[in-house]
């Protein structure tokens, strides 16, 4: 799956990402509808993971 699908409780997803990646800040995890690419860019910079890996991880958290 190559599309970021953020549905449901973003605060829960954000909390899990902050637990896993301590270097992430609330600013890094600010999400607004339609700004998924911007969020992914910030996460890529902070974690060093690929776009695809991050999408897979976020999508698996929300399931």
- pTM check: above 0.85: no
Higher pLDDT, 9 or 49: 49
Work out the pLDDT band at 52, boundaries 50, 70, 90.
Answer: very high
Evaluate if residue 1 carries a pLDDT over 50. Answer: no
Cα(8)–Cα(20) distance, rounded to whole angstroms? 20
pLDDT tens column, 4-45: 777 667 888 889 999 999 999 988 888 887 788 889 999 999
Evaluate if residue 3 carries a pLDDT over 90. Answer: no
* Structure-block tokens of residue 48: 């060093």
Residue-wise DSSP of 1-60:
--S----S-HHHHHHHHHHH-TT--TTTT---TT-HHHHHHHHHHHH---HHHHHHHHHH
């Amino acid at each position: 799956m190559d599309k970021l699908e953020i549905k449901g409780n973003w605060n829960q997803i954000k909390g899990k990402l902050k637990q896993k990646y301590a270097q992430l800040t609330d600013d890094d995890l600010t999400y607004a509808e339609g700004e998924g690419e911007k969020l992914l860019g910030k996460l890529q910079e902070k974690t060093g993971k690929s776009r695809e890996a991050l999408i897979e991880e976020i999508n698996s958290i929300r399931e």
